Each structure stands twice: as C-alpha cells, then as structure tokens.
Amino acid sequence: MASITVPNPLPSPEQDAQTLRKAFQGWGTDEKAIIGILGHRKAAQRAAISETYARLYNESLLQRLHSELSGDFRGAVMLWTADPAERDAKLAYKALKKKDDRHVWVIIELACASSSDHLMAVRKAYHSLFSSSIEEDIAFKFSETNLLRQLLVRLVSSYRYDGEHVDEEMAKYEAAELHDDIRKSQPRHAEVIRIISTRNKVQLKETLKHYEQNFGKAIDEDINNQGSSQLFSMLKAIVWCLTSPERHFAEVIRSSILGLGTDEASLTRSIVSRAEIDMKKIKEEYKKRYRTTLNDDVIGDTSGYYKSFLLALVGSADS
C-alpha cells in the first residue's frame, strides 16, 4: 500500500546520480530535479543511487544534500534518502535525548508499527551508531518506578511471530485479562504489558476483537475512559500502532497540522516513514475521519519545495 510512484522505464542508478550531480552544479540548486528523482524511488533504488553517486564523485550524497538544501525541505529529503534502519535509529536516539516524554511517540511507532525484521535492523544500527543499545538508553531515560520504562524496553526487545496462526482460546482468555486490568481503578498492568509486548499482531487483533464482542466496547474506548494519564495515552497509541497503524498516523498527521503553527518534525516523520508501507490506507483513514484529504491539508499548511516533496511521497489524492 505504498503511495510513491516510480517511473517506467526506470533510469539506471548511474543516470540518476548524473542527473543529481547536474542539479547541484551551476547557478543555484535544481530542487525540482532532486524531487523528481528521490521522491520517486524506492528504498533499494535510493540506496543504489547513493552508492553510485559516492563511487562516481567521491562524496556522500547525503552530505551534498545537506550542503545544497535548507530548512524543512532538507530535513525531509535527508530522512527519505537515508538508509531506513539508520534513519529510525537516529530518530529514536534524538527522541530519547529530549527532556519531555512526548517524544516517546517515536519509540512506540518504531517498536509497534514496524516489522520485526526492521526493528531488529534498527537495534543493530543504533548499537553501531551510538555504542549503546536502545534498551539501555530507554532504561536510563525513565526511573525504575515508571511503568513506561518496563513497557518500552519490552516493546523494543520483542521479536514477534510473523505468521497467521491464531489461538482462539488464548485470544478469549487474554481479552478478559486485558479487560480486568484496564478497568480496575488500580490496575496491575503486568498482564497488559505481557500481552501487548509479546503477542504477534494477528493474535492481538483477534484478542481485541473478542474484547469488543464480549465486553461491549473497543479497548481504546475503555483506555480513554480511564483518564488522560501518560501511560494510558501511550497504551492507546501502542494498540493502534500494533493493530491499525493507519489510525495512529492519520491522527499524528492531523495533530501536526492543526493549531498554531505546523509540527513539521511529526509531519515529516509520519509521511517519510509510511510512504512505502501503508500511506494509501492512511489517506483513506484520514479522509474518513476528517472529511478532507491529506493532500489538501498538506497543500494548505506547507509551502515551497517542502510541500512539493511531501506531496510526491503522499501521491495523488485519488491513489
């Protein structure tokens, strides 16, 4: 359900590298040429272009982009062009260095909306880039008594089964466990953490289906009814990222656009990280929930080459 379009026939990495080189030379940078190439290539294709560019011109494509571009446009292009695992490792590292906890969304998205193989690749990249593990840095950020510490460490350490097998009896049993724990005035949370952090996504979807069928409300409704504590807010995001990430990212994008000023960091991260995964589903969810298109909101709230690049990744409103 990727949203980007790739030309057919596809130019070779050598041709793309040469076109980019020309875009960097002469009087001013040809930003349209950069968008025309990088905004319409998949991850493996971008990697091939970066390798070819370095071989042909003895310089890093990312470093050259950094020197040629500026502002939010530069940030978006560089995130998109970077190796996805290294990109997400750097985003996680930056989030964990922030003082306030709202940046924990980045860790939740990484741990819960990624495939197990991608999460493993990010953990390896994190260790290589920063000489520490993401688990260590999460544990360092939160106190021992903070339940988020245990929950996030478990989430980023998980390698979930990726098959389609579902245990119906277990789903019914764990739906009841979740229900009892969430609706208690002083929940134990241990069962919630165990189930959320270990079960594969197909199994978890079945569990949440039984939750709603047996207890009359979806789990996110019950979570909302428990108040606005940080833990319950994060728990809802975790459930959505695991079972229907399009709901989470539609909400993040909408929140980044509404209000005074745009949260460009959240907007860029959401579009860049999902353009090759499920952006079409996010656009459908966005239109259903907000009675407008994601494309229209991007057009109305961004400008210049930054807007053009995001729209290239988002694709047309009809696709």
Read off the pLDDT of residues 184-234 as tens digits, 9 standing for 90 and up. Answer: 754 557 788 889 999 999 999 999 999 999 999 999 888 888 766 777 788
pLDDT for residue 226: 75
Evaluate if residue 101 carries a pLDDT over 80: no
CATH of 84-157, one of 1.10.220.10, 3.40.30.10, 3.40.50.1100, 2.60.120.260: 1.10.220.10
Instruction: List pLDDT tens digits, range 37-82.
Output: 999 999 999 999 999 999 999 999 999 999 999 999 999 999 999 9
pLDDT for residue 230: 75
Taking the C-alpha atoms of 80, 84, 88 and 91 in order, what is their torsion angle to the nearest 10 degrees?
Answer: -30
pLDDT for residue 223: 85
Average pLDDT over residues 144-165: 87
What superfamily does domain 247-314 belong to in CATH? Annexin (1.10.220.10)
Helices (H), the chain: 13-24, 31-38, 43-57, 61-68, 71-81, 84-97, 104-112, 116-130, 134-141, 147-157, 168-183, 190-198, 201-215, 219-225, 230-243, 245-257, 264-274, 279-290, 294-301, 304-314
168-243 topology per CATH: Annexin V; domain 1 (1.10.220)
User: Of 304 and 318, which is predicted with more confidence?
Assistant: 304
Q: Where in the chain is the domain with CATH 1.10.220.10?
A: 13-68, 84-157, 168-243, 247-314
CA 246 to chain centre: 10
pLDDT for residue 192: 85
pTM: 0.93
Average pLDDT over residues 85-113: 91
114-118, 139-143, 269-273: which range is least confident on average?
139-143
* DSSP 8-class letter at 101: G
Half-sphere exposure (Cβ direction) of 174: Cα atoms closer than 13 Å = 23
Taking domain 13-68, whether its CATH number is 1.10.220.10 is answered by: yes
pLDDT for residue 91: 96
Evaluate if residue 19 carries a pLDDT over 60: yes
Which residues participate in the annotated binding site? 24, 26, 28, 68, 257, 261, 301-302
Instruction: List pLDDT tens digits, range 244-262.
Output: 999 999 999 999 998 777 8
Contact between residue 132 and residue 92 where contact means Cβ atoms under 8 Å apart = no
Which residues participate in the annotated binding site for Ca(2+)? 24, 26, 28, 68, 257, 261, 301-302
